[in-house]
C-alpha cells in the first residue's frame, strides 16, 4: 500500500478474523453473529486494524458495506495467514504427550451422525472424540472456522461458497426425508405421505433459525411448485421440550429425516413420489489433521457400504444445486 506508514511488526490475529468475517459477510451484524461478539466490539476491531494499516478497509452506509481496493488487496493475505495459523495449531494435536480431543458436532442425538461417531470411537479407542450438539450446519460452520469445533455433519451445498472454500467435506449419506405430523392429523393414518398430499399445508422447516439456513433452503427447493407453504419465521425454540411445546401449539407438520427422534403426540411418515433425500456430509476445516478424522471417514464409509447409504432410489430427489458438489465421492 504505497505512500502509507510502515506496517506494524505484529498484527493481532483476532483483527484479521474480524476483517475476514466482515469482508465475507459484507454486513456488520451478520459478521458479529458469526464471530459471537457484539457488533460494537467488531466495529472497534475493524477501526483498530484500519489504524494499524493506515488505510480505510470498508465504506459504510446505512444500507451496505463495501470493501475498498485496499481491503480487496488484503483479503487473500488475511486468508492465507489465518489458514496457516490454523493448520499450525491443528498439526500439533498432541499437547504434553497427549492427543487433544476432537470436538465432533452430531447436531442432535439419535441421528446418522451419532451412529458414525459411535463406530469411529470403536475404530479409534485411543482417541478422544467428544460430542457436541449444534443446531444446523450453518451455525456449526462458523464454529469450525473459528476453531471451536473440529467436525460437523449436514448439507454442505447449503453453505455460503466463501465458507465452503475453507472447509473439506465427504458425502456420507443421502438420507430419506419425512414429515412429522400431529397424531390426529388427517395424513397421520397413511403409512407414507406423497408430496402431493402436502399441497395446501404449511410446513415448518426451521425458518427464522439462523443456524439452520441450509435446511430451510433445502425445504424451499423441495416445496417449490408443489403448493406447499414454508412456515413463517418464528423465534428459535431452545431445547427439545420447548420445540415440542411450540410444535404442539402451532400444529404445523415438520420437515424432518426418517431417523428424526420421535416426539410425544406425533407420528413420523416417510415422504414419497418422489423420495426427497437430504445429502449429509462429514465436514471439517481445511488443513485439520487428527487420527479421529480418519476414524470418522472410515466409520462413515463402512456404514455407507453396509446400509447402502449412497445408493439413491430411482424416484429419489435432491436439489439440482447439490448434485455437482457430490459427483466426486472420494
Ordered by start, the domain boundaries in the chain are: 13-91, 100-173+277-326, 176-274
List Cβ neighbours of 128 (8 Å cut-off, separation of 6 or more): 99, 100, 101, 102, 292
Quick: pLDDT tens for 172-230.
Answer: 999 999 999 988 999 999 999 999 999 999 998 987 788 899 999 999 999 999 999 99
Quick: pLDDT tens for 239-282.
Answer: 667 666 766 667 789 999 998 877 788 899 999 999 999 999 99
List Cβ neighbours of 229 (8 Å cut-off, separation of 6 or more): 200, 201, 202, 203, 223
- Whether this model's pTM surpasses 0.85: no
309 is written with which cell numbers? 447409504
152 is written with which cell numbers? 460437523
Quote the Cα angle for 178-180-183, to 5°. 135
Domains 13-91 and 176-274 share a fold: no
Quick: pLDDT tens for 278-312.
Answer: 999 999 998 888 899 999 999 999 999 999 999 98
pLDDT at 92 over 90: no
Report in angstroms the alpha-carbon separations of 142 from 21, 102, 217. 10, 17, 18
- 254-257 and 266-272 as β-strands: parallel, antiparallel, unpaired? unpaired
Domain 13-91 part of CATH 1.10.10.10: yes
Longest dimension (CA), the chain: 75
List Cβ neighbours of 158 (8 Å cut-off, separation of 6 or more): 137, 138, 213, 214, 215, 217, 218
From first CA to last CA, the distance across the chain in angstroms is 42
Q: Quick one: DSSP state of residue 204?
A: B
CATH superfamily to which 176-274 belongs: Periplasmic binding protein-like II (3.40.190.10)
Q: Region 128-135: what's the mean pLDDT?
A: 88
pLDDT on residue 61:
84
SS3 of residue 169 by DSSP: strand
The alpha helices in 207-274, defined as continuous H runs, are: 213-223, 240-250
Question: Whats the size of the chain, residue-wise?
Answer: 330
pLDDT on residue 64:
86
Q: Are 15 and 45 spatial neighbours (Cβ–Cβ below 8 Å)?
A: yes
136 is written with which cell numbers? 444446523
Q: What is the CATH number of domain 100-173+277-326?
A: 3.40.190.10
d(CA 159, CA 214): 6
Percent of the chain whose predicted confidence (pLDDT) is above 70: 86
d(CA 10, CA 320): 46
pLDDT at 2 over 60: no
Q: Could you tell me which of 132, 136, 273 has the C-alpha nearest to residue 217?
A: 136
Quick: pLDDT tens for 21-31.
Answer: 899 889 888 88
pLDDT at 328 over 50: no
Q: Are 147 and 82 spatial neighbours (Cβ–Cβ below 8 Å)?
A: no
pLDDT on residue 244:
67
Distance of alpha carbon 34 from the chain centroid: 12
DSSP run (H or E) holding 48: helix 39-53
Amino acid at each position: 500500500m504505497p505512500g502509507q506508514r510502515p506496517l506494524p511488526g505484529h498484527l493481532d490475529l483476532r483483527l484479521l478474523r474480524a476483517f475476514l468475517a466482515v469482508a465475507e459477510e459484507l454486513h456488520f451484524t451478520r459478521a458479529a453473529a458469526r464471530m459471537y461478539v457484539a457488533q460494537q466490539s467488531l466495529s472497534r476491531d475493524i477501526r483498530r486494524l484500519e489504524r494499524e494499516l493506515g488505510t480505510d478497509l470498508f465504506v459504510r452506509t446505512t444500507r451496505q458495506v463495501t470493501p475498498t481496493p485496499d481491503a480487496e488487496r488484503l483479503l487473500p493475505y488475511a486468508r492465507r495467514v489465518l489458514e496457516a495459523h490454523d493448520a499450525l495449531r491443528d498439526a500439533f494435536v498432541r499437547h504434553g504427550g497427549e492427543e487433544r480431543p476432537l470436538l465432533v458436532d452430531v447436531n442432535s442425538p439419535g441421528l446418522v451422525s451419532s451412529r458414525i461417531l459411535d463406530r469411529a470411537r470403536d475404530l479409534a479407542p485411543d482417541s478422544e472424540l467428544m460430542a457436541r450438539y449444534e443446531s444446523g450446519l450453518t451455525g456449526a460452520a462458523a464454529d469450525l472456522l473459528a476453531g471451536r469445533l473440529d467436525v460437523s455433519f449436514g448439507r454442505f451445498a447449503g453453505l455460503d461458497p466463501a465458507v465452503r472454500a475453507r472447509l473439506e467435506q465427504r458425502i456420507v449419506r443421502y438420507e430419506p426425508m419425512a414429515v412429522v405430523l400431529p397424531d390426529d392429523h388427517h395424513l397421520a393414518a397413511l403409512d407414507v405421505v406423497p408430496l402431493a398430499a402436502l399441497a395446501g399445508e404449511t410446513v415448518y422447516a426451521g425458518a427464522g433459525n439462523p443456524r439452520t439456513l441450509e435446511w430451510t433452503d433445502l425445504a424451499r427447493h423441495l416445496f417449490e411448485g408443489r403448493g406447499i407453504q414454508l412456515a413463517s419465521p418464528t423465534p428459535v425454540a431452545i431445547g427439545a421440550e420447548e420445540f415440542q411445546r411450540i410444535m404442539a401449539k402451532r400444529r404445523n407438520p415438520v420437515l424432518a429425516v426418517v431417523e428424526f427422534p420421535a416426539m410425544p403426540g406425533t407420528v413420523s411418515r416417510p415422504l414419497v413420489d418422489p423420495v426427497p433425500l437430504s445429502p449429509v456430509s462429514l465436514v471439517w476445516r481445511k488443513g485439520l489433521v487428527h487420527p479421529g478424522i480418519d476414524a470418522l471417514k472410515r466409520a462413515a464409509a463402512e456404514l455407507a457400504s453396509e446400509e447402502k447409504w449412497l445408493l439413491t432410489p430411482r424416484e429419489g430427489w435432491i436439489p439440482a444445486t447439490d448434485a455437482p458438489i457430490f459427483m466426486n465421492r472420494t
